[in-house]
Chain A
Amino acid sequence: MIDGLSALFALMVFPGFGFLFVCALAFQWIDRWAVARLQGRIGPPWFQPLADFVKLMAKEDTLPTGAHELACAVLPVVSLAAVLTASLYIPVAGRAVSAFEGDLIVVLFLLSIPALTYFLAGWFSVGVYSIIGGNRSLLQYFAYEVPFLMALTSPAILSGSWSISHIAVQQSQTVWMVLVQPLGFLLAVVGLIGKLKRPPFDIPKAKSEVVAGPLTEFSGRKLALWHLTLDIQMVIGIFLVVNVFLGGSSPGTIYPVSSLGAIPAAMAFGAKALVVLLLLSVSSVLYARLRIDQLANIGWRVLAPLALAQILATILIGAG
């Protein structure tokens, strides 16, 4: 009974849905505030993401004639479910809902489901912009996913474990992965930018070219769920990078995490997540948007070979 209650608490409140929902809104606001300040603007008030969500939930939900109604209703829910399931295995401040050997692979697999549902959303909500955006999102997926996966595999090889929780704890006893594999960290962040479809990789939803890409025809509750999915994807993407490269919740390089109190662990974890978030915000204002063929070029000619080189270096040097 108590097990059931604590499991329910972990799933619904912390570090589950409730916490992720609040984090999604908070991270979105920090990102919008940082981008605004960098662009010489002021930024929205703190409750703007919440207000946007509530407004969308109350708006009329329409789809164009010819759209596949059932698919369009199911896709945002499937996407959100995949992302929340992935969050089960990502430790927050040292605490994950569940962990097992190999959960890194499961998380990466679950995190690639939103890319597929994004494309399907464009496909099923028939509309010129939706379909063009969907096609671009698939092309983009292939360009960033391979370097992203390879970049996240190297720390696993180095620490000899395929469990995220284990990789995070390991770093508190040795060194942060980012110091050993700075290239992998950079590639993981670039891959994350592509995954989250943030500028300069916001090609599928380029406002000046395809209105809103695959989500053009969505509105109301469905769109609210889509935005929530994308925001929570950002949160757990950042958490994943923090756990795998920045040592999870350990505040120093050689400091056993088990002897940390809960509050310092949470603060360390939060600070690192904020740093990665600000890295994402700054990178989104620095560049013009790339074209899809330019992104495919960079993905396959630059990122993938670098990630491959990183893995080879890890295997050769790590084994020696």
Chain B
Amino acid sequence: MLKEPLSFLLTVEGERVVDSVLRLGYVHRGLERLCQERNYVQNLHLVERVCGICSHIHTTTYCQGVEALLGLEVPLRALYLRALLCELERIHSHLLWLGVLAENAGFTTIFMYAWRDREIALDIMDELSGGRVAHAVNILGGVRIDVGEASVASSLMRLDELERRIEVFLGVIQHERTFRARTRNVGHLSAEQVRRYCVVGPVARASGADVDVRRDAPYAAYDRLRFKVITSNEGDVWARALVRTLEAVESVHLCRQLLTELPDGPLSVRAPRRVPPGEVVSRGEAPRGELVYYIRSDGSDKPARIKIRTPTLATLITLPDQLRGVNTADVPVVLAGVDLCISCADR
């Protein structure tokens, strides 16, 4: 339902899907190649535009990688602000996804409510960074923005309101009979399939895999924060909805911690233009799962190679399996359940 180009060739018998063929590449922009022709600072602009919804985690993971190559120590205040925007982005992404899932299941009311409540998260991000979706907060060596007392207070108030509204959606997912009827036992992935396909993110966590880069390989300020990793054992679209919504609640708690425990200090350190030769793998937990950046530098001010492994690419592979034997009516629900971000997958 999100206007992203993806081609599925479905073979159906009556109402049952027999087979499916997936085609990607409609928004392949060759961003990795373009990155090799621009310097590290210009690439910040490119990398942010790999995805619209998870733009901040892309720049965060990229900056972390380059800062590791440069041997920079990013100030703590900047790390907290980076994590803050990451979590706000996660809430925004999960609420957007909930609306898309509801619309695909014919539940237009929840779509309207979720996208209305997502505006609260967008408003917070707008006040903090000046942009609702593209924040341009990260710079090599730290962050560009600062958050004052007034912004902290107003954001905390908005977060309270947001948490109240997300609880409503939790109630719908857990108790509303028609929503459960459409999402239960649809698009089932076993823990074995998740392991075999190397699925990441909420899709993996909904099938029982206990993986979360924020806890397993902490970046930004996550080693100083307290949060739960939400998993479920059901493995169907309903479980994914539950996991994502509970994660959104956890993100609200994380935002509160970040705002109230924000340390004082500088916002950035100066980053040299030339990056010493080396290679680095940087990971982050995007709303859709583990995001991996491999950056190789040759000593100049332009990277020799940037390779981006987005989480959607890992979860997409499971779709033919999920769609086998499913009703045509379940196809949009299954597609929405894996939370595809095609611009991430195509780059």
Contacts and interface: CB of A to CB of B under 8 A. Distances in A.
Indicate, yes or no, whether A interacts with B: yes
Contacts of B116: 40
A286 B176 CA distance: 10
Contact of A208 (B1, B12, B179, B181): B1
Nearest to A129: B328
Contacts of A206: 106, 329
Nearest to B336: A208
Contacts of A290: 106, 178, 181-182
A135 B329 CA distance: 13
B108 A199 contact: yes
A288 B331 contact: no
B23 to A, nearest CB: 17
B320 interface: no
Nearest to B112: A39
Q: Give the one of B1, B328, B331 with max A CB within 10 A.
A: B328
Interface string A36-53: 001111000000000000
A293 B182 contact: no
A291 B176 contact: no
B39 interface: no
A40 B1 contact: no
Chain B binding site: helix, strand, loop or mixed by DSSP? helix
A202 B178 CA distance: 14
Contacts of A39: 108-109, 112-113
Interface residues of A, number: 25
B329 A287 contact: no
A294 B185 CA distance: 14
B107 interface: yes
A289 interface: yes
A14 B110 CA distance: 40
Contacts of B331: 209
B106 A202 contact: yes
B250 interface: no
A292 interface: yes
A287 B104 contact: no
B181 A209 contact: no
Contacts of A293: 15, 327
Interface in A104-153: 132, 135-136
B102 interface: yes
Interface in A196-231: 199-200, 202-203, 206, 208-210
Interface centre among A38, A199, A202, A288, by most B CB within 10 Å?
Answer: A288
B112 A41 contact: yes
B98 to A, nearest CB: 12
Given A208-B1, A208-B332, A288 B182 contact: yes
Contacts of A210: 328
Nearest to B183: A288
Contacts of A292: 15, 327, 329
A132 B178 CA distance: 22
Interface in A130-180: 132, 135-136
Nearest to B15: A292
Contacts of A306: none
A164 to B, nearest CB: 33
Interface string B84-119: 000000000000000000111111111011001000
B330 interface: yes
Contacts of A208: 1, 103-106, 332
Interface in A287-309: 287-294
Contacts of A287: 107, 176, 178
A295 to B, nearest CB: 10
B91 to A, nearest CB: 19
A120 to B, nearest CB: 19
A87 to B, nearest CB: 30
B108 A200 contact: no
A39 B179 CA distance: 17
B327 A288 contact: no
B112 A203 contact: no
Contacts of A40: 112-113, 116
Contacts of B112: 39-41
Contacts of B179: 288
A285 B106 contact: no
Contacts of A203: 329
A286 B106 CA distance: 11
B3 to A, nearest CB: 13
Contacts of A285: 108-109
B327 A199 contact: no
A288 B108 CA distance: 8
A235 to B, nearest CB: 23
B181 A294 contact: yes
Contacts of B178: 200, 287-290
A285 B176 CA distance: 13
Given A208-B104, A208-B332, A294-B181, A286 B1 contact: no
Nearest to B14: A135
A43 to B, nearest CB: 12
A209 B107 contact: no
A294 B107 CA distance: 16
B14 to A, nearest CB: 8
Interface in B7-45: 12, 14-15
Nearest to A39: B112
A166 B108 CA distance: 41
Contacts of B328: 132, 209-210
Contact of A288 (B14, B15, B176): B176
Instruction: Kindly list the 7 A-B residue pairs having the minimum CB-CB distance in the complex, ordered from nearest.
Output: A289-B106, A288-B107, A39-B112, A288-B178, A287-B178, A208-B332, A291-B329
26 contacts: A38-B109, A39-B112, A40-B112, A135-B15, A199-B108, A200-B106, A202-B106, A208-B103, A208-B105, A208-B106, A208-B332, A209-B328, A210-B328, A285-B108, A287-B107, A288-B107, A288-B110, A288-B179, A289-B182, A290-B106, A290-B178, A290-B181, A291-B181, A291-B182, A293-B15, A294-B181
Given A200-B106, A288-B176, 10 more contacts: A132-B15, A199-B106, A210-B328, A285-B109, A288-B181, A288-B182, A289-B107, A290-B181, A291-B181, A291-B329
